[in-house]
Amino acid sequence: MSFTLHHARPYAARLAAYGLFVVLSVVFTMATALSVADFVKILFPPAETPTALPSANVNLLSQGLQTLYDWLIVYGPKHALVYFSLLLLGLYAFKNVFNYLSLVQISIVRSHIVCDLRSKLFRKVLNLPISYFGTHRRGDVLARFAGDVTEYDQSTLGSLQQLFSAIVSIVLYIAMLFYISAKLTLFVMLMLPVVAFVISGISHRLRRESVELQQRNSFLMSLMEETIIGLKVIKAYTAIEFSNRRFRQADARYARLRTRVLRRVDLSSPVSDFLGNCVVIGILLFGSSLVLQGDVGITPDLFVSYIMMFVLMIPPAKELTTAISQIKKGRACTDRLMQFLQMDEVRPDLPEAQPFIGLRHQIEFRHVHFSYNPGTEVLTDINLTIPRGATVALVGSSGSGKSTLADLLMRFHEPSSGQILIDGCPIQQFSTSSLRQHIGVVEQHTFLFNDTVRHNISYGTPRATRQQIEQAAQIAQAHDFILQLPQAYDTPIGDSGALLSGGQRQRISIARAVLLQPDLLILDEATSALDTESEALVRQSLQTLLTGRTALVIAHRLSTVAAAQLIVVLEGGRIVESGTHQQLLQLQGRYCQLVKNSALLN
C-alpha cells in the first residue's frame, strides 16, 4: 500500500473526486432499494392507514417513506406506479452517471501511475552501474517493464480500485441496514466471520505462489531474448530441438503454476457467492420470524427493502474477497518492482562538481586498484600518465584489464582505491555528463540503434548539420557505401544494424565518434571488424583526426599499436612494461613475446 500511495499522491484531487462519485453512486443505489417499500405499498395497500406510527417505529426513514407513499398514492394506484417508475428511472440514471464519472477519474489515475512507474524504471536502468547487467539477466529487467508493470496495474491497482469501491459500498449498506433493523443486522454480522475465515483459507498461499510465478515468467523472457540474440549460434550448432525442448519444459512449469494460482483466485468468487446466498437464506428465515411476531423494529415493506439492500451488498462483498485475493497475487510483482527501484545506482556527482571544459595537460592514474567483487582485483596498482595529444596503446592478453581501465576513465566504474587525475584534479571533481561529452568511444562490439544512418551518426550530437554528418562519415570512410544504400543517410539499418555488414557498422560507429570532435578518443578494438583495405583507409583518416587529440587505443593488431607514442603492456591487471615499440622490442620481455607469438596480428 505504501508503494502505491507514494505513486498516487500527486493525483490526490482526482482520487478524492473518485471517492465522492463512488459514495454518490452507492447513495442513489440505496435510494432505489428503499423505494421498493413504496412499490410494495402501492401494489398491496394496507387495510387501514394508521393516523400515527408507534413511537418505537418513528424515525426519519419511515417518515420519509411514508411521506413519499402519501404523495404518490393520491394520484391513484395506476398513476402512482407510473410516477414511481419515473422516479426509479431518475435514480438509476443518477447512479449510472456518478458510477461513470468515478470510473473516468480512476482510469486517469491508473494510467498516470503506470506511466510514471515505467518512466522510473527506465530512468533506473539508465542510472544503474554497468556491472549490474553483467550479473543479472537482461530478460529479467525486460520482464519488469512488461509483465510486472502490467500485472501491477491489473492485480494491484485494479484490485485496490475494486477494494475501495467495495468497502465504501459495504460500509454504507451496513449503516443503512443497522438503521432499518439493528437486531437483524447483528444476526448478519455474526455470520460474517465464518465467511471471512473460509475465504482467507483459500488465498493463504497466493502470495508465495505468485512470487514464484513472476520469477518463472522472467526466466521465460530471458530464454526468449537469448534465443533471438543467439539464433545464429543455435542454428549453426543444430541446437534447435534442444532450445525448443528447454523452452517447452520451462513454459510447461510456468503454465502449471499459473493454473494453480488462477484456480485459487477463481475459487474465491463461487465460494463467496455460495456463502452469500446462505446468509440471504438465514436473513429470510430470521427476518420473516421477526415480521410475523410483529416486531416493532421492522415492517413488512421495510423488510422487503432490507432484503433488496442486502442482495445489493452481495456483489461488493464478492468483489471485496476477489480484490483481496488479487492484491495478494499482485504483491509478488509489487515486491519485484520495489526491489528493482531500490537497487544502488551509480555514485552521484559531488555537490561541488564542476563542468569539464577540456583536457589541457595530462591524465594520470595514481595507484589505482579496482575489483568487481571484493577480494578479486581486476586492476592492481596502476600508475600511468597520458600526456595531452599523445596516443597510448594498451596491449595484453584477454582479461588483463585493458577495457576496464578505459571504463574507469569514462566513470562507468569507480576505483576501489587510488585516484584518476585530469590536469591534477581528481576526476570526481568534474560532472560525469560534461566529462563524457569530451570523450569519444568506439568499442569492439559495435552497437547501433534501430534507426536511420543519419540518426545513428548524430547520436549524442542531435544538432549536427547534414554537412557535419557527411564530413564525419567521409573521415570514417563510410560516406561512399552510405550513398549506395536505398535511401542513403535516411536508410533504416534494422535492429543493432542488422542490415549492414560488420565493417559498415564499425565505420558508422567511428563516424559517430568523429562527429563529437572529442578531446579524448577511446578506441577499443576500433578496427577489429574491418578488412585489411578498409582498415588502412580508416587508419589514415584516424591519423588526421588524432592530430592534437589524446587517444587511448586498445588493439591486437601490430599495425595499430606500433604507431603509438606509448605502449602499455598489461598482464593480470598490472602494468608489466611500457615504452615505444622499439624500446619494448629491445627489452625482449612480454611485448616482444606477444609479437613473436603473433598475439599482435599484422
pLDDT tens digits for range 114-124 = 888 888 888 88
Burial class (CB in 10 A: 0-12, 13-18, 19+), 282: middle
| Residue 416 cell numbers, joined | 576501489
The CA distance from 103 to 184, in Å, is 34
Strand, helix or coil for residue 104: helix
Q: Are 42 and 72 in contact (CB under 8 A)?
A: yes
Q: Are 105 and 21 in contact (CB under 8 A)?
A: yes
The CA distance from 323 to 427, in Å, is 53
**Burial track 75-84 (b if 16+ CB lie within 10 A, e otherwise):** eeeeebeeeb
Residue bearing cell 563542468 = 355
State residue 60's pLDDT score.
54
Burial class (CB in 10 A: 0-12, 13-18, 19+), 209: middle
**List of E strands, 423-477:** 425-426, 439-442
Strand, helix or coil for residue 128: coil
The CA distance from 238 to 235, in Å, is 5
Domains and CATH numbers, the chain: 2-341 (1.20.1560.10), 362-596 (3.40.50.300)
State residue 268's pLDDT score.
66
| Residue 25 cell numbers, joined | 453512486
| Residue 370 cell numbers, joined | 579496482
State residue 368's pLDDT score.
92
| Residue 517 cell numbers, joined | 570532435
The CA distance from 465 to 443, in Å, is 25
Q: Are 478 and 504 in contact (CB under 8 A)?
A: yes
- How, if at all, do strands 439-442 and 574-579 pair? unpaired
Residues of the chain with pLDDT under 70: 36-80, 82-83, 134, 192, 195-211, 232-233, 236-237, 268-269, 272, 276, 294-297, 526-535, 537-542, 544-545, 556-560, 598-602
Burial class (CB in 10 A: 0-12, 13-18, 19+), 428: middle
| Residue 372 cell numbers, joined | 568487481
For the chain, give me the number of helices (H) and strands (E)? 23, 10
| Residue 244 cell numbers, joined | 525448443
**Burial track 29-66 (b if 16+ CB lie within 10 A, e otherwise):** bbbbbbbbbbbbbbeeeeeeeeeeeeeeeeeeebeebb
| Residue 88 neighbours by CB distance under 10 Å | 15
| CA 336 remoteness from chain centre | 10
How many residues does the structure list for the chain?
Answer: 602
State residue 483's pLDDT score.
92
Q: Are 402 and 413 in contact (CB under 8 A)?
A: no
Where on the phi/psi map is residue 297: left (φ > 0), alpha (ψ -120 to 50), or beta? alpha
Residue bearing cell 495478494 = 328
Q: Which of 293, 315, 316, 309 is nearest to 61 (CA)?
A: 309
- How, if at all, do strands 391-395 and 566-571 pair? parallel
Strand, helix or coil for residue 577: strand
Q: Are 348 and 170 in contact (CB under 8 A)?
A: no
